[in-house]
Amino acid sequence: MSDTPDHPTSPLTHFDAQGQAHMVDVGAKAATHRVAVATGHIEMQPETLALIESGTAKKGDVLGIARIAGIMAAKKTSDLIPLCHPLALTRVAIEFEAASAHIPGATGIFCSATVETVGPTGVEMEALTAVQIALLTIYDMCKAADRGMVVRDVRVREKRGGKSGDYSIA
């Protein structure tokens, strides 16, 4: 894709002028403190939530294992997403709450991942990956009790740092 009136440059940064996929060059960008927060939830039957909350799930501490899985996933994002840069993360925090605290009437677990680095590129993908894998781990550990669980609404809630500025949704 060339930068002509007929073919304007794409706003998608992972494509070069010829339309070929490439890893974005961040070498000239300033290293700044960057933070991203992503959230999502997994809906489940009330009985499944009770198993998790009581700590009596057959496979053990569901939320403890899911927290570790989310942290590991954030660290491995560049191995999973082809054009992500490998980053030196300075912090990954995974938090869980009852979904009903955020979504009236929902039964399940709400997950929030906060990821930080000091570097030339953001950590939104790492935060999103952490949430997805944490929630998938909950599914994996509880699927014998509830195969109908649904992962929903995984999104970036907040981003701070970098040239494009801050971003936040309510």
Q: What is the 3-state secondary structure (H, E, C) of 123-165?
A: CHHHHHHHHHHHHHHHHHHHCCCCCCCEEEEEEEEEEECCCCC
Mean pLDDT, the chain, integer: 87
To which H or E segment does residue 83 belong?
none
Could you give the CA distance from residue 74 to residue 130 in angstroms, rounded to a whole number?
A: 5
Q: Are 169 and 157 in contact (CB under 8 A)?
A: yes
pLDDT at 115: 98
Q: Name the pLDDT band for 7 (thresholds 50, 70, 90).
A: very low
Q: What is the pLDDT of residue 21?
A: 64
Q: Decide which of 166 and 16 is more confident.
A: 166
Judge whether residue 5 has pLDDT over 50: no
Residues 138-169 have pLDDT tens digits of: 999 999 999 999 999 999 999 999 888 888 99
3-state secondary structure of 32: strand
Identify the pLDDT of residue 56.
73
Closest-CA residue to 133 (of 41, 70, 43, 74): 70
Tell me the per-residue pLDDT of 111-138, one tens digit each, with 9 for 90 and over.
Answer: 999 999 999 888 999 999 999 999 999 9
SS3 93: strand
Would you please indicate which residues are annotated as catalytic (active-site) residues? 140
Lowest mean pLDDT among 1-5, 11-15, 90-94, 127-131: 1-5
| Cα distances (angstroms) measured from residue 105 to each of 50, 100, 113 | 15, 6, 23
Q: What is the pLDDT of residues 27-45, one digit of tens each?
A: 667 788 999 999 999 999 9
pLDDT exceeds 50 at position 68: yes
